[in-house]
């Protein structure tokens, strides 16, 4: 039987309970099972991480998987916490809060870009893990010297991370993107004919934005514009 999730999350801590000496030694460790699950999710997505598939990759039985991770829901929490622990952000290079917060936002976007499956996990128990807590502590320090209360510091960080998550959703690879580009190229003139003089504002703004970005949508342009507005909004609170 697997340990409780809290003990699995902190399995490397000196205070974590250890298994007994009796019985045959397990072929794999919990950390190896989590590593294999992360590799599988990186390659094929979170839905590919099943007990049967993971067991095949590890060379163990499907039931043995559950002796290491408890449940697939627990496994996802372990995967996310491990990803956070490995995503070690650089030391803050800017002395001002604005530069540090920008660094936090970019680091969060990089985390999603390295593991798109994280966007599919919404289990709040991830907040209990050592990797997630260490990440949270580092991110909070971006607001040092900003004069925020503890509650406002937490809220400000959540505001920034929520923006980064929504931006990551927009950047997530979409196999239909090529189809949309082809459809726009092939059907653009016919769409213009259908529209005629209707929706002049949408047509004017859409044409200007499309020409500026050389695309119907630019994640990079949306990121820079949105992050600047996030920082401006925080300045009103911090100032």
123 plus 211 within the same structural domain: yes
Beta-carbon neighbour count of residue 219 at 10 Å?
15
Q: Which residues contact 76 (CB under 8 A, 6 or more apart)?
A: 46, 49, 121, 123
pLDDT band at 118 (very low <50, low <70, confident <90, very high): very high
Q: Which of 49, 83, 117 is the last residue of a domain?
A: 83
Q: pLDDT, tens digit, for every residue of 195-216?
A: 888 889 988 888 887 777 666 6
Domain match, 218 and 107 both: yes
The domain that contains 24 carries what CATH number?
A: 1.10.10.60
Using one digit for the tens of pLDDT, what is the confidence trace for 40-72? Answer: 999 999 999 999 999 999 999 999 999 999 999
pLDDT above 90: percentage of residues in the chain? 69
Domain range for 10 is 5-83
Whether 160 and 230 map to the same domain: the answer is yes
8 Å CB contact between 161 and 106: no
The model's confidence at residue 23, banded by pLDDT at 50, 70 and 90, is very low
- Decide if pLDDT at 180 tops 80: no
Pair 98, 76 in one domain: no
Cα torsion 207, 213, 219, 223: sign = negative
Contact 78, 128 (CB under 8 A): no
CA atoms within 13 A on the CB side of 132: 16
73 and 170, same domain (yes or no)? no
Say if residue 62 is in the same domain as residue 114.
no
Q: Residue 219 maps to which CATH number?
A: 1.10.357.10
Residues 223, 135, single domain; the answer is yes
Dihedral angle of Cα 75, 80, 82, 87, to the nearest 10 degrees: 170
Select, from the ranges 15-19, 71-75, 194-198, 235-239, the one with the highest average predicted confidence (pLDDT): 71-75
Length of the chain as a residue count: 239
Does 61 share its domain with 149? no
Pair 63, 98 in one domain: no
CA distance 72 to 80: 12
* Total tally of structural domains belonging to the chain: 2
**Do both 135 and 216 map to the same domain?**
yes
Domain-terminating residue out of 25, 56, 83: 83
Same domain for 212 and 97 = yes
Residue at a domain's end among 25, 60, 83: 83
pTM for this model (two decimals): 0.87
CA within 13 Å, CB half, 40: 22
Q: 18 and 73 in one domain?
A: yes
């Amino acid at each position: 039987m697997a340990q409780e999730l809290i003990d699995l999350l902190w399995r490397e801590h000196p205070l974590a309970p250890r298994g007994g000496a009796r019985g045959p030694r397990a072929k794999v460790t919990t950390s190896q099972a989590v590593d294999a699950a992360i590799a599988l999710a990186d390659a094929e997505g979170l839905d590919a991480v099943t007990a049967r598939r993971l067991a095949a990759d590890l060379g163990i039985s499907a039931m043995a998987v559950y002796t290491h991770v408890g449940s697939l829901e627990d496994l996802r929490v372990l995967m996310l916490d491990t990803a956070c622990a490995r995503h070690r952000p650089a030391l803050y290079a800017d002395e001002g809060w604005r530069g540090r917060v920008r660094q936090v936002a970019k680091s969060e976007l990089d985390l999603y870009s390295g593991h798109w499956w994280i966007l599919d996990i919404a289990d709040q128990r991830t907040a209990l893990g050592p990797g997630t807590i260490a990440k949270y502590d580092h991110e909070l320090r971006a607001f040092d010297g900003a004069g925020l209360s503890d509650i406002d510091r937490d809220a400000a960080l959540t505001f920034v991370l929520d923006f980064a998550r929504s931006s990551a959703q927009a950047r997530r690879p979409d196999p239909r993107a090529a189809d949309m580009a082809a459809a726009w190229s092939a059907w653009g003139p016919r769409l213009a004919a259908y529209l005629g003089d209707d929706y002049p504002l949408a047509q004017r703004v859409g044409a200007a934005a499309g020409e500026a970005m050389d695309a119907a949508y630019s994640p990079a342009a949306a990121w820079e514009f949105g992050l600047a507005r996030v920082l401006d909004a925080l300045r009103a609170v911090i100032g």
